[in-house]
Amino acid sequence: MSFAAVRPGSDLALQARELTRVHDAFLGGSRGQPPRSVVARSWRRVLAAGVDPGGGTLRDPAPVEDVERRRRGSPLAAVVDELRGVLTSVADASSFLMVVCDADGVILWREGSARVRQQADRLGFAEGATWTEDAVGTNAIGTALVEAAPVQLFSAEHFATRQHPWYCTAHPVHDPRTGALLGVVDISGPALTLHPAFCALVSSAVRLAEAGLWRHHQESLDRLRRVAEPVLGAASGPALVVDDHGWVAARSGIAARERIAVPQADRALAVPGLGLCLPERLAGGWLVRAASSSEVIRASLSPDGVLEVSGAQSWRVTLSPRHAQVLRVLATAGRPGLTAAALSTAVFGDADHVVTARAEVSRLRRVVGALVSTQPYRLSDGVELVLSPA
């Protein structure tokens, strides 16, 4: 679905004047043609945040060392050259800037037309600046972050009047491994130079960037696979080697899926075909194999919800009252466990809260890992939980 702000063939100067009237009417509280829905939602948000439409958008940028730190930590650093190849090759001819932000809306890279860069500097649209909605009002970068969708804004669709001479076309970039939002790719320039092809141009650049991220992921798995070969060769019994996101790089004696739950150093892990596992750290990943049949994970739950776990790995965590209640119910139920309906009755007093009961177990498992099993809900095999008396 197109996210363009203007139709092909539109008179840009005429549309800019019409949008100025819409902007002024909206802020003045008078009736008139409403803005596009994505714009109206954003204007309401920034009004609620107390952003001044007539105020300056110039902000002190983050220090250079902070920008460099963010660049080094951003997965987008691996594909910024690919973005340059697609976008900056036409930036000078088309009088626009390519801008790449992180998930906080901080501009990490900005390249393109020298003339437009000078105009952007006067606006505070520079490396190290934060372009979220609550910082500078409605803009394609900040609005794309909030909407989690591509956004194009033209002229007076921007909330701050100083941004009205601009257009901006922004597209979120997601990590193909996890789906996490990594940042935004944007092209911006003088409003009357907007071209109908810019939406497709930015979308294509983002698709190539995400494909590049996936390629780097596969290369990382290949490196981990080479590291894992001697480890798996020396391991007894079935085992997996996975990266920090749970993607399987190598396997021995088990036909596992492509990805398992994300391993943590202080949490047991349930893997189909292996059962309860205790992940072991490797360079760049994890060795995952079944806990020995004689190995028991012992835990105690205090009346105030403190869960202490001992065994091959020891750790403690304070549970919410609801999660502590669910864990006590499961411990009392024993190995047969409980259905979702039975758990709902035990926790909420009736069987009408099945969906809520399932959600609570899901959230509990994010805290305690594979200490809790599903289908039915119960403590996992190899886990002994002692309920301390009040």
Contacts of 37 (CB under 8 A, 6+ apart): none
> For residue 329, what are its two tokens?
């119910």
The phi-psi region of residue 372 (left if phi > 0; otherwise alpha if psi is between -120 and 50; otherwise beta) is beta
**What CA–CA distance (Å, rounded) separates 247 from 225?**
11
- Amino acid at site 352: D
Q: Quick check: helix, strand or coil at residue 190?
A: strand
* Average pLDDT of the residues in 207-222: 95
Share of the chain above pLDDT 90, in %: 62
Question: pLDDT by residue (tens digit) across 297-352?
Answer: 788 899 999 998 876 556 788 999 999 999 999 999 998 999 999 999 999 999 99
User: What residue has token string 């119910």?
Assistant: 329
**What CA–CA distance (Å, rounded) separates 338 from 329?**
9
Asked if residue 216 lies in contact with residue 201, where contact means CB atoms within 8 angstroms, the answer is no
Fold of 12-215: Beta-Lactamase (3.30.450)
* Average pLDDT of the residues in 363-385: 84
Question: pLDDT by residue (tens digit) across 129-182?
Answer: 999 999 999 999 999 999 999 999 999 999 999 999 999 999 999 999 989 999
How do 315-318 and 378-379 pair as beta strands?
Answer: unpaired
Question: In the chain, what are the domain boundaries?
Answer: 12-215, 236-293, 297-387
Question: pLDDT by residue (tens digit) across 2-21?
Answer: 789 999 999 999 999 999 99
Q: Which long-range contacts (CB under 8 A, 24 or more apart) does 369-373 make?
A: 369/261, 369/264, 369/267, 369/268, 369/269, 369/270, 370/261, 370/267, 370/268, 370/269, 370/270, 370/276, 370/277, 371/268, 371/297, 371/299, 371/309, 372/327, 372/330, 373/270, 373/337
User: What spatial distance separates the first Cα and last Cα of the chain, rounded to whole Å?
Assistant: 59
Output the CATH code of domain 297-387.
1.10.10.10
Q: Quick check: helix, strand or coil at residue 184?
A: strand
**What CA–CA distance (Å, rounded) separates 196 from 6?**
7
**What CA–CA distance (Å, rounded) separates 67 from 77?**
12
In the prediction, which pLDDT does 293 show? 57
Q: Is the pLDDT of residue 91 over 70?
A: no
Residue 117's alpha-carbon distances to 105, 113, 240, in angstroms, are 18, 6, 50
* Average pLDDT of the residues in 73-102: 88
In the prediction, which pLDDT does 21 show? 95
Average pLDDT value for the chain: 89
**What CA–CA distance (Å, rounded) separates 307 from 58?**
49
Half-sphere exposure of 39 (CA within 13 A, CB side): 22
Q: Is the pLDDT of residue 29 over 60?
A: yes
Q: Which helix (H) or strand (E) holds 271?
A: strand 269-271
Question: pLDDT by residue (tens digit) across 253-309?
Answer: 887 778 888 888 767 777 777 777 878 888 889 998 877 655 677 888 999 999 988
Q: Which helix (H) or strand (E) holds 333?
A: helix 321-333
